[in-house]
Amino acid sequence: MPLFIVKRIGQALIALFGVMTLVFFIQRLTGDPTYLLVPENATQADIEAMRRTLGLDQPLLVQYGRFLWDMAHFDLGRSFVQNVKVTTIIASRLPYTLQLAGGALIVALVIGLPVGLILALGRRFAITRALMGLVLAAQSMPTFWSGIMMIMVFGVWLGWLPPSGTGSLQHLIMPSIALGLLSMATYARIARSAVLDELSKDYIRSARARGVGTGRLVTHHLLRNSVIPVISVTALEISQLLAGAVIVETVFAWPGLGQLTVEAIASRDFVVVQGVVLLGAFVTIAVNFAADILYTVVDPRIRLGGTRP
């Protein structure tokens, strides 16, 4: 394995370790985490018993060691409310969130990248300014508001799409758009600035001088070279979309991890909340790792030089 991959794996593991430590300490921000872990109606005796079973009467360092040990075995603990392993609960909800995030990513890429390209190539036309305004509007749109408005217009008034819930592809359309709009704006802006960057470079000018037409210039010269920022944004967006799903799922009663988190907070099922957060961090670290490896495939200069442009 090349050295840079080994180094990068090391960095990812350190980040994971750091995240677990952070979550461990956040749990203890108020002192005793037992209160977070017991149901609301627990008696004092229940709390004492729970403290002993969970080992929360042990020294902090021992607790920390046990926490890391469990995490290293992919053991996220057990939900006291549902009396099921957290990994099982998460596994049953994860497919829904992945569908939603996938749908949103498709919306973002399919609309965002062409829009970015248009914004860059047509920056001299007045109509592009209006398009830029739309992109900015999409960027400032709260997902929960655009979601509710879509439910009202397309779900209730026009009756074109099911207002909430799950079951068919139609159910996926509105949540994907609501969640994807923000990423769409990000893609449009990144694609625009990446293409503008490349347009000013010498190879584009010489290609033009050789008589290469605009269409071929875009497909054969511009796109491949503009792809690096798009990859790095995708890594960021995937974790953003998973996190953003928390709110969008609540709006559309979509039974994924987000709804699970909100339910878990309402029923004071802290272990589940913690499990979702750790999963989110794991995914973030993993996609960033994947993006770094992907750069070296797309752009061999990075592999040789060792630095990201």
Q: Given the rule CB under 8 A, which residues bind another protein?
A: 14-16, 18-19, 21-23, 26-27, 29-30, 33, 36, 136-137, 139-142, 144-145, 148-149, 151-152, 155-156, 163, 193, 239-240, 242-244, 246-247, 250-251, 261-262, 265-266, 270, 273-274, 276-277, 280-281, 284-285
Q: Name the residue with tokens 């008034």.
A: 157
Report, in Å, the least distance between residue 118 CB and another protein: 18
Contact 165, 251 (CB under 8 A): no
Contact 260, 276 (CB under 8 A): yes
Measured from the CB atom, the residue of 21 and 219 that comes closer to another protein is: 21
Report, in Å, the least distance between residue 209 CB and another protein: 25
Contact 15, 292 (CB under 8 A): no
Measured from the CB atom, the residue of 15 and 42 that comes closer to another protein is: 15
Q: Write out the two tokens for 267.
A: 């029923």
Please classify residue 275 by burial: count the beta carbons closer than 10 Å to its beta carbon, then call 0-12 exposed, 13-18 middle and 19+ buried: buried
Report, in Å, the least distance between residue 51 CB and another protein: 17
Measured from the CB atom, the residue of 136 and 297 that comes closer to another protein is: 136
Report, in Å, the least distance between residue 36 CB and another protein: 6
Measured from the CB atom, the residue of 6 and 134 that comes closer to another protein is: 134
Report, in Å, the least distance between residue 38 CB and another protein: 14
Contacts (Cβ under 8 Å, ≥6 apart) of 95: none
Contact 245, 257 (CB under 8 A): yes
DSSP conformation class of 155: I
Report, in Å, the least distance between residue 49 CB and another protein: 22
Measured from the CB atom, the residue of 110 and 136 that comes closer to another protein is: 136
Contact 201, 150 (CB under 8 A): no
What is the rounded distance in angstroms from the CA atom of residue 157 to the CA atom of residue 142? Answer: 21
Measured from the CB atom, the residue of 101 and 118 that comes closer to another protein is: 101
Report, in Å, the least distance between residue 9 CB and another protein: 15
Measured from the CB atom, the residue of 87 and 207 that comes closer to another protein is: 87
- String of b and e for 178-198 (b: at least 16 CB within 10 Å)? bbbbbbbbbbbbbbbebbeeb
The dihedral built from the CA positions of residue 183, 184, 186 and 190, taken in this order, carries a sign that is positive
